Amino acid sequence: MKVLCFGSLNIDYVYLVPHFVNAGETLASKSLNVYSGGKGLNQSIALSKAGLEVYHAGAIGNEGLFLLEELKNSGVNTQYVKILNEIKTGHAIIQKNDEGNNCILLYGGANQKISKSQIDETLKNFSEGDALVIQNEINELPYLVENAKKHGLKIVLNPSPMDDTLLQLLPSTDYLILNEIEAAQFLKTNSNEDPVKMIKDLSKKIPSTKIVLTIGKEGSLYAYEETLLKQDAEKVIAVDTTAAGDTYTGYFLAGILNGETPEWSMKFATKASAISVTRNGAAPSIPERQEVLKQL
């Protein structure tokens, strides 16, 4: 089985700040670090480090070539990534405070230049039993999902950043992995609502989809049909939460796609995510499979 992660490739500019910038405020940062990033890249690396055969598809500008090296060094096949001469690589401006929390401003760049022909050329190399992992940082997602289903791929959606255009993808989604804010946006409700109620409400709306709801320090929930599972988070001292969700997604899917139970996969993902938040950076913080298994 092959996993195709068709998603974003970003250059992350991470500023350490005493607090997040307010409207009209000029704030001096304590430091600047530049990392590889993008939810697509992060999840490809997490999937690969967790033990799957992973192929990344997407697009970059010429200044983003080091992102391909990052993927290759983590065991990801990059043959389906297009290098575009006329546009910049996508990037993110990330503010990180002293508590390790972050806020992110995205520029799509090459991530928004995915063509239907690139999708067609890529999907012809995948077939029934393979999986497609997507986020919401590239264009042409409806076309991608429609044609991936025709090829028999399992569809995994991480709806980040969330917008209403993703609603049309839900009937085709086999796995939906999201956080409380994204769930509240889907349900048109308040993110402070009881997460158990939210995941149950989501299950009623999309009963054919297996749902994972991450709830920060409270852990995560899984729902499908009559099954409802809860996994507690691990208590660690966080220094950078940037790739925590992507690490969880990659490791949970690695468990599921390798035939493990949802219970075991949630524990696997929770351990990996807990390790990642104790390290700086996005992709560089994602642990290797053997390290996670040893601590597990």
What separation in angstroms does the CA of 135 have from each of 21, 166, 286? 27, 10, 18
Given its phi and psi angles, is residue 175 left (phi above 0), alpha (psi -120 to 50 degrees) or beta? beta
Mean pLDDT (the chain, rounded): 95
Q: What is the pTM of this model?
A: 0.91
pLDDT over threshold 90, residue 284: no
Span of 59-73, 93-107, 151-165 with lowest mean pLDDT: 93-107
pLDDT tens digit string along 154-164?
999 999 888 88
Torsion of CA 232, 169, 46, 160, to 10 degrees: -70
The domain segmentation of the chain, as residue ranges, is 3-9+37-89+112-295
Q: Nearest-CA neighbor of 19 among 7, 29, 10?
A: 29
Q: What is the pLDDT of residue 149?
A: 97
Please, which pLDDT band fits residue 280 given cuts at 50, 70 and 90?
A: confident
Q: What is the pLDDT of residue 191?
A: 80
What's the fold here for domain 3-9+37-89+112-295? Answer: UDP-N-acetylmuramoyl-L-alanine:D-glutamate ligase (3.40.1190)
